[in-house]
Structure 1
Amino acid sequence: MHGRELHGLLHPFLLLLIFERAGHGYALIDRLKAMGLPDVEPGHVYRVLRGLERERLLISGWETAGAGPARRCYQLTAKGRDDLRSCLAGLAQLHQVIGAGLQRSADAFAGSPGANPYAASRR
C-alpha cells in the first residue's frame, strides 16, 4: 500500500495505541511501525496527534521523569474512546467489503494459469 491510503488509518490507529497504553510521539511511531506502517512520517503523526487533541479526543502533558528532554505524553479521553469505537465499527465494515472484493478477485483469477491476483503488476 502507498502512504496516502495509510494516512487515513493514523487517526484510528493512534487512538487504539493510546487506548492500549499512553505514550509519546516517537514511541507511538515505533508502535505504528510494529503494526505494519513502516513509512510513517513523524511530522504527519504529530499533526494528527495535535488534531486529535484539538478535537478533545486526547489530552497531553509533559513527562519530565527520567533522563533526556521532557516529552509530551498522550492519553485518551472518554470522547476519544467513543470515537475509537465508532472508527473500529467503520473499519470492521470496510474489512468485510475488502474481504468480499478479495474473494471475488481470487475467484476470477482462479482459472488463469499461474495468475496471482495479489502480485503487483509490471507496466
Structure 2
Amino acid sequence: MTEHKNVLGTKLVACCTSPMTGYYRDGYCRTGGQDYEVHVVCAQMSSAFLGFTKSQGNDLSTPIPQYNFPGLKPGDRWCLCASRWREALEVGVAPKIILEATHVRALEILSFSDLKQYELN
C-alpha cells in the first residue's frame, strides 16, 4: 500500500478489520478515483448515528449476507463518507472519530477543529 496520511499529517493507520471496512475493504479509510462518496472518516458507530443514517436511506445496521456485510452495531468502527459525517454533525448525531485512521482528504470537506472536537479518547 502506498503510504497515505491521516488528518494529523502522519501515517494512516487501520480503522477496523472486524468488520472489514474501507472503500477497498482493507481496513483503511483511504480513497481513490472510483470512490465518489469519499469514505475517509474513521468513526465509532453510535445508536444515534446508525438511526440517522438509516433515516437518510443508508441502513448500516442490517446485515446483507450476499455482500458479506454483517451489519454494524454501536461500538463498531467504520469508514464513513465525509459528507454523511458532516450531515450528522449538522443535526447533532455525529459519531466519535479516530483521527489517526481518518484520511487527510477529509480536510477537503471537514474542518480539523470539528474533527478534533469529536475525537475518540
Q: Which has the higher contact order (CA 8 A, sep 6+)?
A: 2
Q: TM-score, normalised by structure 1?
A: 0.24
Q: TM-score, normalised by structure 2?
A: 0.25
Larger Rg: 1
